[in-house]
Amino acid sequence: MEISCCLCLEGTRIILEDEIGGEDDGSSYKCCRGDVHVKRACFYVSISALVVCLFSTICMFFGVYTVNLWLDIFLIVANTVVAILMMFGLYYDKASLLVPFIVSEITQCVCFFILANYVLYYTIVFRRQKFYQKFDQMLMVISIYLGIVICIGAIWAATKCYHYLRQKAEGIYPDSGERCMWE
């Protein structure tokens, strides 16, 4: 969509154009208020997922785990694998390698949403708890909801990058010829 305004004053022609980003510069595939390309945002998402996996592994070695030891081990391994797959997908421009990350994150969001609602229900209904126990549980519920919101942002960036890579593979966007993690 292009909006043009032409103003002619005594032989001087002033043209003001307001173009909404076309596919040529890829501006329709930008994140963070149009500052970051989706491929770079997806790279940041995969790096942050690997950092969270490393942090969870370190916490597990000190005996701190969230729900269950084996569930945490499974989630750490699964999240590490899908984050690495996403990095390979970004490097080789393979949209299909982003799908495992998107599916696993959606699944984790749904499961943690159910867990947070269960804890919230338990906190409200169970009357024999002391204030500090209820406060701790409410902090946990709030942190789970906050994590879900952050995770939805990661899913959004990965999904947008998936569509970009699919369209690039179809030839809609020109191939620059060199491989890189981000545009």
Q: Per the domain annotation, does 86 fall within a domain? A: yes
Q: Per the domain annotation, does 9 fall within a domain? A: no
Instruction: State the Cα–Cα distance between residues 148 and 109, nearest whole angstrom.
Output: 6
**For the chain, what's the residue count?**
183
Range of the domain at 71: 32-169
Query: 66 with 126: CB under 8 angstroms?
Result: no
Short-list 175, 168, 181, 183, CA closest to 43: 181
pLDDT tens digit sequence for 51-85: 999 998 998 888 877 778 888 899 999 999 999 99
Q: Per the domain annotation, does 92 fall within a domain? A: yes
10: CB partners within 8 A, 6+ apart? none
Q: Per the domain annotation, does 133 fall within a domain? A: yes
Q: Per the domain annotation, does 175 fall within a domain? A: no
Q: How many structural domains does the chain have?
A: 1
Whole-number pLDDT of residue 4: 41
Q: Per the domain annotation, does 59 fall within a domain? A: yes
**What pTM does this model have?**
0.74
Q: Per the domain annotation, does 150 fall within a domain? A: yes
Q: Per the domain annotation, does 20 fall within a domain? A: no
Residues of the chain with pLDDT under 50: 1-8, 15-24
